[in-house]
């Protein structure tokens, strides 16, 4: 956590853990990061964040100006998906998205 908070890039990060205390510490204490993911690959892209992973030197404070949806909020994203719980189609159905949204 100290390493992540001290780096100048503020990249996306992920943690793989089943202990909720470890997950809570990661989510609460990592403050210099882009997208945080729990039990999910940090490499996977989340629209509209395709190639942008951080708020530091890689994208910077102006890196998201090309994305209107990101200009409405400047909050740190966190994706928490229990490993092996849902397939994309099951998750889309669970949240009421059209089936094609799971592709």
* 36 vs 58: CA distance, rounded Å: 16
Q: How many domains does the chain fold into?
A: 1
Full residue range of the structural domain in which residue 92 is found? 2-102
Chain segment 66-98, per-residue pLDDT in tens: 666 655 555 556 666 666 666 777 777 777 776
* 59 vs 35: CA distance, rounded Å: 12
Say whether pTM exceeds 0.95. no
**Do you find a cis peptide bond into 46, omega within 30 degrees of 0?**
no
Chain segment 40-64, per-residue pLDDT in tens: 876 665 555 545 556 666 555 555 5
Phi-psi bin for 73: left (phi > 0), alpha (psi -120 to 50), beta? beta
Chain segment 2-37, per-residue pLDDT in tens: 998 888 877 778 888 989 999 999 989 988 887 788
């Amino acid at each position: 956590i100290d390493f992540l908070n001290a780096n100048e890039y503020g990249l996306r990060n992920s943690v793989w853990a089943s202990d909720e205390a470890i997950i809570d510490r990661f989510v609460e204490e990592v403050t210099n990061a882009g997208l945080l993911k729990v039990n999910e690959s940090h490499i996977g892209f989340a629209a509209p964040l395709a190639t942008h992973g951080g708020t530091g030197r890689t994208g910077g404070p102006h890196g998201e100006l090309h994305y209107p949806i990101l200009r409405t909020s400047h909050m740190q994203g966190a994706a928490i998906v229990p490993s092996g719980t849902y397939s994309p189609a099951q998750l889309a159905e669970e949240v009421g998205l059209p089936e094609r949204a799971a592709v």
